[in-house]
A = this chain, B = another copy of it.
Amino acid sequence: MERNFRIEALQEFTRQVFLKIGCSEEDASIATNALLSADLRGIDSHGIARLSGYVRLWEAGRINSSPEITIVHETPSTATVDGDRGLGLVVAPFAMQIAIEKAARCGTGWVAVRNSNHFGIAAYHAMKALEHDMIGISMTNASALVAPTFSNERMLGTNPICVAIPSGIEPPFIADMATTTAANGKLEILQRKDLEAPVGWIQDEKGNDTRDAHALKHGGALLPLGSDREHGSHKGYALGAIVDIFSAVLSGANYGPWVPPFPAYVPMPEGQPGQGLGHFFGAMRIDAFRPADEFKQNMDKWLSRFRSASTIEETKKVLVPGDPEREMETERRRQGIPVLAPVVEDLRKLADKFSIVFP
């Protein structure tokens, strides 16, 4: 049902595809690294499985493969970037780099981005800060699949947030999470296997609980983290809303129900108030608050204390955010990346379309 590929083979193939749609050599490499970091970290829904989707957006004229990305507004610690309809996979690294440079100069850097597209996984961008002894933050809005508490209308995307925090000798803290109970990728896995979803992940078109993993096709919605009012869904809704506002109202992108859809066949929402979709990035220099070695010693103590917290079941140790993805990356770099049959088929079609050697 699936085939195994070495990461280098997928990288070379992906790079070729980005070159064929008109990316520069540099942008093709940048986009490839961003996209395939998802496959390495085990977020299969956001990696090479989406490559053909990006190509279709380019074919539909919704992605500009040779964008002129510009800073349209700035202060010592902030910038607003216009992505010129570029690949989010290229626009986001540009913006994160500005955040890092501003942090180097004045302690922190914060960049809002408009007129962009999907940027892959949030963790890839936030983690760029780590090598500079900075905390990295990244978030993005996305097209509306999530209903606010008390609503049966899809108003927010799964709007992920990532916070990456450096450490000394312990592996770092990297929390990358959709602001919904379950990421859409997890629902897609159930859909493919025709399994039911747990109660609390989705609601039907009337707003009732449902276990039908296909409910989103019939007007249903994903639920904010917390699932229902009694379990704090208003908090998940608030988090998704904060991501939407920081990413899009601050930058001049589209927000709420007006965010452009990822599938190229879905028509654009009418009356859009902004440009493209939006992201928001932050970088905070550790030594803008405290000497970096002091911070790292304490962060190591924090990490080892939590990793050794008392467990409910002996076999399930307490994890720190980012631990499962790091273990996955180690394994996949060694043993290769499993790609599902329908995705392999998709890649084969891309190889044919662009006359590229299939990996």
Interface residues of A (CB under 8 A from B): 73, 75-78, 80, 106-108, 110, 112, 135, 148-153, 155, 163, 165, 173, 175, 177, 179-182, 198, 200-201, 206-207, 225-227, 230-232, 234-239, 241-242, 244-245, 249-252, 255-257, 273-274, 284-286, 288-290, 294-295, 298-299, 301-302, 305-306, 309-313, 316-321
With A290-B251, A295-B250 already in contact, the answer to whether A151 and B235 are too (CB < 8 A) is no
Contact B318 A148 (CB under 8 A): yes
Cross-chain contact of A290 among B175, B252, B301 (Cβ < 8 A): B252
Q: Which of B207, B256, B313 contacts A302 (CB 8 A)?
A: B256
Residue in B closest to A294 when the chains form the complex, CB atoms: B252
Contact B75 A181 (CB under 8 A): no
Instruction: For residue A170, give the distance in angstroms from its CB to the closest CB of chain B.
Output: 12
Q: Is A230's CB under 8 angstroms from B299's CB?
A: no
In the complex, what distance in Å separates the CA atom of A301 from the CA atom of B274? 12
The answer to whether A312 and B256 touch across the interface, beta carbons within 8 angstroms, is no
- 10 inter-chain pairs at a CB distance below 8 angstroms, sorted by A residue, are A77-B288, A80-B289, A148-B309, A150-B318, A151-B310, A151-B318, A175-B239, A227-B227, A238-B321, A251-B290
Return the contact of A106 from the options B75, B135, B250 (Cβ within 8 A): B75
Smallest CB separation, A299 vs chain B (Å): 5
A79 to B251, CA, bound (A): 26
Asked whether, in the complex, the Cβ of A182 is within 8 Å of the Cβ of B232, the reply is yes
Known: A150-B317, A226-B232. 11 other contacts (CB 8 A): A77-B77, A77-B108, A110-B288, A112-B290, A150-B311, A155-B305, A175-B239, A177-B238, A225-B235, A239-B239, A251-B290
Complex contact A319–B150 (CB within 8 A)? yes
- Report the separation of the CA atoms of residues A245 and B175 in the bound assembly, to the nearest whole angstrom: 12
Residues of B within 8 Å of A285, CB to CB, are 75, 78
Bound form: Cα–Cα A266–B317 in Å: 29
CB distance from A32 to the nearest CB of B (A): 28
Q: A152-B311, A274-B298 are in contact. Are A231 and B290 (CB under 8 A)?
A: no
